Structure 1
């Protein structure tokens, strides 16, 4: 049975991202997928990687559990807002603390002329579901989608997750109830398929 990890990466509850996550969950439950939800804002951890990779900070129990959840799933779905073009600070801190050498990847001097690496999340797939106020086409063409590049390309794909698909809902500001209902239905359908 496909194990799906839902990652609630919105710093505040009761937002559109929560409604989207709930819709995905209902769809996935209707299809019988094995679901786990990880809510980053409820975890207790220091988000600052104080010493970079020079000195390892002990992982808090919530981060140890989060690593196990990421490694134990077949498919992960990240739900987050885009703020100032990127990820919320709490989400970035979460990634900084657990996407570490020897945990999610290791450098491999035999690849790419000494600049290679091995990702430890190979065989997993992902979807990123984002909300933002900037129209999606402007976000891609004018700004080159920085949050997508950061989470999809330089984090998940770097650690072996492929494919990583992206679903963006925008602009949220000024959106009508009917529009949001369509977005929620779209995510419910994604959950039914486990994609």
Structure 2
């Protein structure tokens, strides 16, 4: 029996290599018998700014309400995004800030210093592009933006990161290298 998968594209350009990765992941997952929903953040209309932090929750726009329903529906998520200026794009960060709310993704109880993880039972893959060599990103930059997503975002809410693939440098990559990265992506999706 296939899984319910939500693929989230955090790149604003629908013609990007991230979009190609997302498309290949979706195709391979569907071929493997999974049910897939696709969320292209650039298509959503929402304010990415938390104007009052979490002191007062802003009313969610319709696209964000639908995104929350898709996250609840999903058993597995795949986030596809680039590293820009050493972090995830503002579009993706704003989406996470607005959607992974207290009461939806986690909650604190008055008698504990630790959160209750409300999205337990879900898993995730990350497909991350960059213009830095992946080895340099890992050993010099210590993969901090990936760790942020895996540990302090997904795991904080109960989503278990299974695998993160990092592709780079994309800017100077040749078509053969990009095709190998797409094959890696398809193989990952086929193994869910």
**Given the two structures, how large is their TM-score scaled by the length of structure 1?**
0.94
Pair 39,175 (structure 1): closer, same or farther in 2 beyond 3 Å: same
- What is the aligned partner in structure 2 of residue 134 from structure 1? 132
> Within the alignment, does 1:31 sit opposite 2:14 as a pair?
no
Checking the alignment, whether the CA contact within 8 Å between 2:150 and 2:161 is kept in structure 1 is no
What is the CA–CA distance in structure 2 between the aligned matches of 1:19 and 1:49, rounded to whole Å? 31
Give structure 1 regions of 4+ aligned residues with deviation exceeding 2 angstroms.
Answer: none
Q: CA deviation at 1:67?
A: 0.5
> Within the alignment, does 1:78 sit opposite 2:85 as a pair?
no
Question: Counterparts in 2 of 1:1-195, with a 5 A limit?
Answer: 1-110=2-111, 114-194=112-192
Q: CA deviation at 1:119?
A: 1.0
- By relative contact order (CA 8 Å, sep 6+), the higher-ranking structure is 1
Checking the alignment, whether the CA contact within 8 Å between 1:152 and 1:164 is kept in structure 2 is no
Q: CA deviation at 1:56?
A: 1.3
Checking the alignment, whether the CA contact within 8 Å between 2:127 and 2:164 is kept in structure 1 is yes
RMSD, aligned α-carbons = 1.1
Checking the alignment, whether the CA contact within 8 Å between 1:81 and 1:132 is kept in structure 2 is yes
How many positions carry a matched residue from both structures?
191
What is the CA–CA distance in structure 2 between the aligned matches of 1:58 and 1:27, rounded to whole Å? 36
Checking the alignment, whether the CA contact within 8 Å between 2:6 and 2:78 is kept in structure 1 is yes
**Given the two structures, how large is their TM-score scaled by the length of structure 2?**
0.96
- SS of the aligned residue for 2:93 comes to helix
Q: Structure 1 unaligned runs (5+)?
A: none
Q: Structure 2 unaligned runs (5+)?
A: none
